[in-house]
Amino acid sequence: MSDIALIDVKAEADATANKNDECHLNRRIHGVCLVLAATMCLLWSAVFAQELMPRAYWPTPNGTNIFVAAYGRSVGDIVTDPSLPVTGVDSKIDNLSLTYVRTFSLFDRTANVQFTVPYSRGDTEGIVDNMLLQRHTSGFADTRVRFVLNLKGAPSMDRAAFAELRKNPRTIVGASLLIQAPTGHYESDRLINIGTNRWSVKPAIGLIIPMHPTWLFEAELGVWFFGDNNDFLGQTREQKPVVSTEFHLIKQIRPGLWASLDANFYVGGQTNIGDSTQANLQRNSRVGVTFVMPIKGRHAIRTSYSTGAVTTTGGDYEMFSLSYLYAW
């Protein structure tokens, strides 16, 4: 889960003349590799079901720790839950999140656990029952925990084994489980909220296929399952599962620097409010790009942009994100 071959040829040649310089260079390389490893399996995700997550299943060396601070801005037809009975939505939402990731060995396979605490602030207007409503929101959104286990192609490894995988990539199969807890700010008498007041889980399976040492193709198939919101404007709100797929074409431009073309498609999510079935089946798709660049030692910057490609219910919005990563 990293770009290990980040050695500047000239620096390495100079380092061979001085053992102390060589040790210092190796420490710098190790730091850069850890940060870049972070960007392979982690990118900031908003509190929606439409994430685009390239290299979510690429491993990192055992014992890697990652801290991520991320900012995102979304503009357009977007609310925390796209299946809400709101039309003509126009939102401007800013999101901040802090994430911690730890890589460890489980059954001699590479695994990691990720904790994300997001904060959201924004303004939304939309039409409900032929009335224009406006809503300002600010507060913590639902906390997320994500667990990933590589099933094939990525046994638990040290930095040397990881370096070999980086030079000679192989097919990797992984499984993940994302849990979203109802910790976000929620007001039961309001239609639009930051929190969802329900539990959600998404099991998924991912596949990475090397097309060339500098090209990777990644795909994921997952299903969102939603608990009931038993305090939705005085009623119970149920939602059917959402099936989601993701596809990424990833190119390493040079050691340590990579970009990807991203796309997804998701369908489902029709809701019932009390005894009434809503006409809000989602059949949407998004496309985007991701760019990652190391800046110094253990630090890296990641940027991404995505927009709606096909939308039926919600999802027609633009999103930009900028993340700072530190690994140790």
* Structure token digits, residue 280: 């809000």
CA triplet 315, 264, 145: central angle to 5 degrees? 85
The answer to whether 302 touches 292, Cβ cutoff 8 Å, is: yes
Q: Residues in the chain with pLDDT < 50?
A: 1-25, 28-49
Strand 131-140 and strand 109-128: the pairing is antiparallel
The answer to whether 223 touches 175, Cβ cutoff 8 Å, is: no
Quote the pTM value.
Answer: 0.82
- pLDDT, position 301: 94
* Among the listed residues 44, 55, 9, the one whose alpha carbon sits nearest the alpha carbon of residue 29: 9
Distances (CA, A) of 104 to 23, 35, 155, 203: 26, 16, 11, 20
Q: Rounded distance, CA 44 to CA 39, Å? A: 10
Q: Rounded distance, CA 134 to CA 89, Å? A: 10
Specify the CATH number of the domain 9-327.
2.40.128.130
- pLDDT, position 6: 30
Express each pLDDT in 247-271 by its tens digit.
999 998 876 789 999 999 999 989 9
Q: Rounded distance, CA 54 to CA 68, Å? A: 16
Give the burial class of 38: count Cβ atoms within 10 A of its Cβ; 0-12 exposed, 13-18 middle, 19 or more buried: buried
The 3-state secondary structure of 219-241 reads EEEEEEEECCEEEECCEEEEECC
Express each pLDDT in 213-231 by its tens digit.
889 999 999 999 999 999 9
* 87 backbone φψ class: left, alpha, beta (φ>0; ψ -120 to 50): beta
